[in-house]
Amino acid sequence: EVQLVESGGGLVKPGGSLRLSCAASGFTFSSYSMNWVRQAPGKGLEWVSSISSSSSYIYYADSVKGRFTISRDNAKNSLYLQMNSLRAEDTAVYYCASDIVGATPGDYWGQGTLVTVSS
Amino acid sequence: QSALTQPASVSGSPGQSITISCTGTSSDVGSYNLVSWYQQHPGKAPKLMIYEVSKRPSGVSNRFSGSKSGNTASLTISGLQAEDEADYYCCSYAGSSTFAFGTGTKVTVL
């Protein structure tokens, strides 16, 4: 059974940093691309970033480019999102999602971790 | 990475069929057969219902079907059931390895 478990969310001040983690199990993590998708409170879904299986290809939404960094450690079956220069509009539930079937921002999703940016 | 346009709400009675539209542009929906649909119940993570326009992942009911014409994709739910009441989001590949989600549609079972 595919399981994705996010952690690392919390309250941070504007301009601050936070690192999210996602622990994967139940599939061959090193073979598939992974994504981060976020959802602001009461709002829709927004794709944030993607990373290929070997980390060779990395992509970001314009809204986070230059501030967020996605990475993965295939030996630890883990995905990460380093978030710097956080803004109030980054407040959201952040979901880790796998791309096993291909060409989707997520086929299996974690339960999400809430990031709140507020002074 | 502009959001795709969906109706804010769609409703139907049990047993009926409903269709949710998802309108994009020639740069996303119109250019790629890479439209996916997600179901999200309150407080829960999204669930993939349709990928590559019309394919269903294992375990998803065949009451859910997808299609596309030009810049508009559609999700049809037939034999509507109470458990189908949820938010639904479309998503399209938008080129340059990016994705665009739809604005979301709240489905109400009357």
| Beta bridge pairs of residue A96 | A36
pLDDT tens, N- to C-terminus, chain A (119 residues)? 999 999 999 999 999 999 999 999 999 999 999 999 999 999 999 999 999 999 999 999 999 999 999 999 999 999 999 999 999 999 999 999 999 987 788 899 999 999 999 99
Residue A105 is predicted with a pLDDT of 87
In this structure, what token pair is assigned to residue B6? 């969906």
Residue B2 is predicted with a pLDDT of 84
> What amino acid is encoded at A52 in this protein?
S
Residue B108 is predicted with a pLDDT of 97
Residue A103 is predicted with a pLDDT of 79
Residue B9 is predicted with a pLDDT of 97
pLDDT tens, N- to C-terminus, chain B (110 residues)? 689 999 999 999 999 999 999 999 999 999 999 999 999 999 999 999 999 999 999 999 999 999 999 999 999 999 999 999 999 999 999 988 899 999 999 999 99
> What amino acid is encoded at A33 in this protein?
S
**In angstroms, rounded to a whole number, what is the distance separating the alpha carbons of residues B55 and B37?**
10
Spell out a b/e string for A28-37, using b for 16 or more CB atoms within 10 Å of the CB, else e.
Answer: ebeebbbbbb
Contacts of residue B102 in chain A, CB cutoff 8 Å?
Answer: 44
DSSP collapsed to 3 states, B4-68: EECCCEEEECCCCCEEEEEECCCCCCCCCCCEEEEEECCCCCCEEEEECCCECCCCCCCCEEEEE
Residue A54 is predicted with a pLDDT of 96
- Most B CBs within 10 A among A53, A101, A104, hence the mutation to make, goes to A104
In this structure, what token pair is assigned to residue A115? 């990031």
In this structure, what token pair is assigned to residue A111? 């339960």
Cα dihedral across residues A24, A29, A30, A32: positive or negative: negative
In this structure, what token pair is assigned to residue B16? 């009926």
- A104 close contact with B: CB closer than 8 A: yes
